[in-house]
Amino acid sequence: MRLYEFEAKQVIAKFGVPLPKRTMARTAEEAEAAATSIGGSVVLKSQVLSGGRMKAGGVLFAETPAEAKAAATTILALTINGLEPTGVLVEERRKVVQEYYAAVTWDGRAKSPLIIFSDMGGIDIEEVAEQHPEHLSRTHFSNLRPFSDYIAKVAVSSVGVTGNELGALTRIVSALARAFLQYDMTLAEINPIARLEDGTIIALDSHMDMEEEARGSQRALLTELAISDDETRQARPPTPFEIAGGQVDASDPRGVAGRVVEFDGNLGLIIGAGGGSLTLFDAVRAAGGRAANYCEIGGNPSVGKAAALTKLVLSKPGVEKIAVMMSVVSNTRADMMARGVVLGCIEAGKDPAETIAIFRVPGSWEEEAVKILQKYHVEYVDRTVSLFEAARRAVAKLGGS
Amino acid sequence: MAMFIRVDIDEALQAETALHKRLVEVCPVDIFAVDGARLVTVEKNLDECTLCDLCIDASGDKVKVVKLYE
């Protein structure tokens, strides 16, 4: 769940990160009053859940309150990547001598949090990593043991920062890591951190993503930020297909069969299992396939729920076949999945043998699943066939590679 | 009409009313219901049968679970 910049700054401010004077404005008049209160030159930034604000004209400067009002009027009317701003953040404009980058995110491969720090902030960090790797440090730390400032110091000093800046930047990076851990973030980023002419170091922009599943446990923070339960904070509004997927999932408390994301391909996906959905989606793309949807299924959904998701995917215009694929599952019964997808096909008026391009759900009750699939002449594979090979075979049935 | 599972109730079990409630209780997916004095199956739940055999154990084999795909 993404936070707006002004919310992310509220979070890091709680940890003592120095920030410019700022006021969130919902109207041009409020922006004018904010500029008056702050005094001097200000920057006005669209509060929208999208990157590319500067290029889109969502960041403007003003020297007077009247200019700030005019700039806010422009920004509030500006849609960026299809998203309307929730307001304008008015901040004092500071002269920057040097910019730094700091982020804390989760490294799935290392299975631990990771601090990324660079003394080349303000630009695309991927570009820094590629073209100036000596200016970027990656420092893993434990999410089980208490966080130590020393870890932040290692991250900052690794790119050659010394002296007073090392101390100031260490405090900021340490605060960012603590915010990441305390509030179940998946990404906590400050870009840029700025060194000003007087040597002060402050955070100029911040981006945070909170783990969606943490909404319950982080209710106190969300209340403090005035984020209501019905704010989905997705990058775009859900499509009717995605809303229907959510309704399928909510229709029965047993297991998960939903979290649908719509794409424009011709291969419907019924996929899941412990991160398997993402891997399988990638596998379909790697095989040259065009997925019609992403979804997550697992945790032993009922037969009816699996069937309803199958029918939903098959109802999508352009879907020719579905691939039912999971990594090895112990918490989802293969036979119940087989019943669900076969039932879904039949209730959708389709022949399971023709419609299910491949069934790969190895794991518990697999032998029973095989009996069902054999009866309905559905092609299935076991765990000796990799996820990527299964995806390739499914794509091939649609005339792909 | 269920596609995968059929549950047959032995007619002799209909006289054992104490067992009716027990079968309703043990089934994790609500396949059994009491209709008047008779124990019946709930059609829409039959395909949700988890093959746990609790009904078979509780009824002393007076309930049969038939896999229609075998």
How far, in Å, CA of A293 to CA of A115, rounded?
33
Task: Tell me how crowded residue A266 is: count the other CB atoms within 10 A of its CB.
Answer: 19
Tens digits of residue pLDDT in B6-50: 999 999 999 999 999 999 999 999 999 999 999 999 999 999 999
Does A375 sit within 8 Å of B47, measured CB to CB? no
Write down the residue that tokens 């029918």 correspond to: A311
Helix (H), strand (E) at residue B44: none
Task: Tell me how crowded residue A120 is: count the other CB atoms within 10 A of its CB.
Answer: 19
Number of separate domains in chain A: 3
- The pLDDT profile of chain A, 401 residues, written as one tens digit per residue, is 999 999 999 999 999 999 999 999 999 999 999 999 999 999 999 999 888 898 899 999 999 999 999 999 999 999 998 888 999 999 999 999 999 999 999 998 899 999 999 999 877 888 888 899 999 999 999 999 999 999 999 999 999 999 999 999 999 999 999 999 999 999 999 999 999 999 999 999 999 999 988 999 999 999 999 999 888 787 677 899 999 999 999 999 999 988 899 999 999 999 987 778 889 999 999 999 999 999 999 999 999 999 999 999 999 999 999 999 999 888 899 999 999 999 999 999 999 999 999 999 999 999 999 999 999 999 999 999 999 999 999 999 997 54
SS3 for B35? strand
| C-alpha distance from residue A149 to each of A75, A77, A90, A292 (Å) | 39, 43, 32, 46
How far, in Å, CA of A319 to CA of A66, rounded?
54
SS3 for B29? coil
Q: Is residue A157 part of a domain?
A: yes
Parent domain of A143: 96-224
The CATH number of the domain holding residue A87 is 3.30.1490.20
SS3 for A114? strand
Does B67 sit within 8 Å of A375, measured CB to CB? no
What residue in A sits closest to B29 (Cα-Cα)?
Answer: A302
- B contact residues 28-57, partner A, Cβ 8 Å cutoff: 29, 44, 47-48, 50-51
Assess B61–A contact: CB distance below 8 Å, yes or no. Answer: no
Does A303 sit within 8 Å of B69, measured CB to CB? no
Do A252 and A388 lie in one domain? The reply is yes
Distance of CA A215 to the CA centre of its chain: 14
Do A269 and A390 lie in one domain? The reply is yes
**How far is B10 from chain A, CA to nearest CA, in Å?**
25
SS3 for A74? helix
Specify the pTM.
0.69
Contact A44/A59 with Cβ under 8 angstroms? yes
| C-alpha distance from residue A62 to each of A15, A71, A333 (Å) | 30, 7, 61
Q: Which of A224, A251, A271 is the last residue of a domain?
A: A224
- Domains, chain B, in order of start with CATH, read 5-67 (3.30.70.20)
Q: Is residue A381 part of a domain?
A: yes
Strands (E), A126-173: 136-140
Instruction: Pick B48's closest partner by Cβ from A304, A342, A346.
Output: A304
